[in-house]
Structure 1
Amino acid sequence: MVDIPLIDLKAQYATLRPAVDEAVAEVLATTGFIGGPQVKEFEENFAEFGNYPEVVACGNGTDALELLLDAWEIGEGDEVIVPAMSWISTSEVVATRGAKPIFVDVDPKTYCIDPALIPAAITSRTKCIIAVHLYGHPADLGAIRKIADEHSLYLIEDCAQAHGAFFGEHNIGTVGDGATFSFFPSKSLGAYGDAGAVIAPSPELGTRVRALANHGMPGRRHHHVYHGRNSRMDALQAAVLNVKIPHLAGWITAKNQHAKRYQDNLEDLDPGYLSLPSTAPDCYHGFHLFVIRTERRDELAEFLTAKGVANTVHYPTALPLHACYAEDGYRAEDYPVSVNLGNTALSLPMFAELTDEQIDYVSDQLKEFFAA
């Protein structure tokens, strides 16, 4: 039976095995598991990759968001504008700081927060906008940056799914007042466990975030200036990421080629039955995920699974409709695009090592399904 995974980490490891094994063995031999040269090397390597002023490694992408909000002292009584469709971390980090997430619906083409809807959500309590580059597609940073500047708001780029993407000539992560990355294993640049990073445009922000991530110590040990936390990338994860970074640009190129093959294969299908992902002008998609939309989503998912094609839903529920926000009384009709996306979106296999034959097989199954 054909078996095409959603992502094939084993295939990637096979291509990198000697270098990864050597890097991990070095950490084990030196027993420098926390901090150390591998983490510093990662920060320098990733900064060079993305042309970032400063990279602060941390425990995971959720921590990265929390660290930025804490650095700006956003908390009780404040409001933060977030997209209504994303992974829960985007709004969770706001609520756990004591602030209130203000949900804005997403654009029906890019699936990122709709800039046209942001101004109406701004109040005197608004402190920040979090723009998520969902599925790897850049949010409209030009329009969002303008809104943030006009209202003196912080802008965070949540780049957890957008490694290697571009908005115009700008690397994702270079337009906001701060940016965050996740290196969860399934990401385009994935560790072998949890890991994350904050992009700090200024030395002052970098110093504060670095201190907050290390128990509030900006300098010497046992000298705690802030109430911080323990959010450190371990050396094993940094070692793995250092092996992978030189390959990242090539992997993103491969993913874009895979996306084009999917789109070429499926372009003759009635768009009323199947909606394919598109890329806005002047954007370069990261294609962390290849997400299609169909009103027959659940039926199609069952069909593909039976044919050996892995698939999943990212994400079935719009953020304001989760149980943790029930007391706020959010209504589905206020977020029609996000709700529809949750009901119709389906992620197909997408990883750099995907073969043309695998893409063609998946495409053939889709054609068969919609021909029935």
Structure 2
Amino acid sequence: MIPMVDLKTQYQHLKSDIDAAVQGVLDSTHFILGPNVQTLEQELADYLGVQHAITCSSGTDALHLALRAAGIGPGDEVITPAFTFIATAEAIRYVGATPVFVDIDPHSFNIDVEQVRGAINDKTRAIMPVHLFGQPADLDTLKQLCRQHDLMLLEDCAQSFGARVGVQQTGAAGDFGCFSFFPSKNLGCYGDGGLVTTRDAAHAAMLRNLRNHGSDMRYHHDRIGYNSRLDEIQAAILRVKLPHIDDYNFSRRRVAHRYNELLAGTGVSTPFEDGLGTHVFHQYTILSDQRDVIMKALQAEQIACAIYYPIPLHRQKAFADTTAGVNLPVTDSVAARCLSLPIYPELPDASIERITQVIRGALD
């Protein structure tokens, strides 16, 4: 069987360091907001090129906390794509605001900046692009729109850790960058974990307060906050893995480009790289009118594949109260034809060749 991601192989490569880091936490008995969290936050800030990096308990919480710190709430609108995981828009609803779904670019699958331009009105408070599958969105244009209309820019970087636009990392361009450390992410821990980045010291202070029950001092609570702290064990694991992230992303790009070579001439559409930023291939996603045929052929050979995302958010029951009449033809078309293939840094060439041979055979 070829899995979508092989976490065991990566663990085996780092086993001695990870085991020692976890044992160190167990020996210290300091499990919450301890030295590993503090050091990790500085290491993440240095790597991402941001002033402040605040860890939290999940990528979803990162989005929620960022929206809270931004002061977004009832009556406000946040423009975002419908072709993403539900957490993107779910977090907008958490604060009482309304997600305004716009269409995506048919090549990058990222938010269509012209659609964003047309959706801005006097209720709009923020734009939340998603760097989907590891391809950075058009941050330069989005930043210009935010400056022009006095809007906040909140980057959903759940799938783009280590991706760059020029020399700038995703998560360093907007008012907030929101990351996930879910185990299958490019930089993943062994449970849930998240991160919010910001340039603003006041926002950073608010984020730290919110993630810890609205408290800066024990038993003193300034506001209603949350229990959203990254634990020391996860921080220790991430500290071991962080120095390897550029190598991991380089290897993901190697795998993706090998796929591109072997799928040339098959008629499937391979992932687009727009040249504006460095794609880190959290997912390798193809488009084909024969998606179901390809899926069945792969599954018959015990090769994993997945559809991200089969039902776009504007067609989900959870958002039905605000999406009547919303028409997103590119999103619908991509959702009907997309298929993600196995990708992880350690995926061997022999497996890539086997996967593409099965696809070619299915399409003959």
Report the TM-score range of the alignment, normalised by the length of the smaller protein. Answer: over 0.9
1:314 lines up with 2:329 in the alignment: no
Q: Deviations over 1:339-363 (max 9, x none)?
A: 1111111110000010111111111
Is the CA contact 2:186–2:249 (under 8 Å) kept in the aligned structure 1? yes
Q: Which amino acid aligns with 1:284?
A: T
Tell me the CA shift for residue 327 of structure 1.
2.7
Which of 156, 159, 162 is 2:160 aligned to?
162
1:324 lines up with 2:318 in the alignment: yes
Tell me the CA shift for residue 204 of structure 1.
1.4
Unaligned stretches of 5+ in structure 2? none
Which residue of 1 is the match for residue 289 of structure 2?
295
1:33-52, aligned counterparts within 5 Å? 33-52=31-50
Tell me the CA shift for residue 331 of structure 1.
4.1
Q: Which amino acid aligns with 1:326?
A: A
Tell me the CA shift for residue 96 of structure 1.
1.9
Unaligned stretches of 5+ in structure 1? none
2: CA distance, partners of 1:62 / 1:288: 17
1:247-262, aligned counterparts within 5 Å? 247-262=244-259
Which residue of 1 is the match for residue 269 of structure 2?
275
For these two proteins, the number of residue pairs brought into alignment is: 364
Q: Which amino acid aligns with 1:221?
A: R
Q: For residue 199 of structure 1, give the secondary structure of its aligned residue in structure 2.
A: strand
1: CA distance, partners of 2:100 / 2:276: 28
Is the CA contact 1:136–1:288 (under 8 Å) kept in the aligned structure 2? yes
Q: Deviations over 1:270-308 (max 9, x none)?
A: 3xxx11001002310010000001112122111101112
Which of 307, 325, 334 is 1:341 aligned to?
334
Which residue of 2 is the match for residue 19 of structure 1?
17
1:370 lines up with 2:363 in the alignment: yes
2: CA distance, partners of 1:32 / 1:341: 47
Is the CA contact 2:105–2:111 (under 8 Å) kept in the aligned structure 1? yes
Is the CA contact 1:321–1:331 (under 8 Å) kept in the aligned structure 2? no
Is the CA contact 1:159–1:181 (under 8 Å) kept in the aligned structure 2? yes
Tell me the CA shift for residue 200 of structure 1.
1.3
Is the CA contact 2:181–2:193 (under 8 Å) kept in the aligned structure 1? yes
1:1-372, aligned counterparts within 5 Å? 3-217=1-215, 219-270=216-267, 274-331=268-325, 334-371=327-364
Q: For residue 118 of structure 1, give the secondary structure of its aligned residue in structure 2.
A: helix
Tell me the CA shift for residue 268 of structure 1.
2.0
1: CA distance, partners of 2:153 / 2:49: 18
Is the CA contact 1:130–1:157 (under 8 Å) kept in the aligned structure 2? yes
Q: Which amino acid aligns with 2:313?
A: L
- Structure 2-normalised TM-score? 0.98
1: CA distance, partners of 2:168 / 2:33: 30
1: CA distance, partners of 2:322 / 2:43: 43
Is the CA contact 1:321–1:330 (under 8 Å) kept in the aligned structure 2? no
2: CA distance, partners of 1:73 / 1:214: 18
Tell me the CA shift for residue 91 of structure 1.
0.7
Instruction: Note the aligned Cα RMSD (angstroms).
Output: 1.1
Q: Which amino acid aligns with 2:207?
A: V
Is the CA contact 2:293–2:362 (under 8 Å) kept in the aligned structure 1? no
Q: Which amino acid aligns with 1:257?
A: R
Is the CA contact 2:2–2:351 (under 8 Å) kept in the aligned structure 1? yes
Tell me the CA shift for residue 168 of structure 1.
2.2
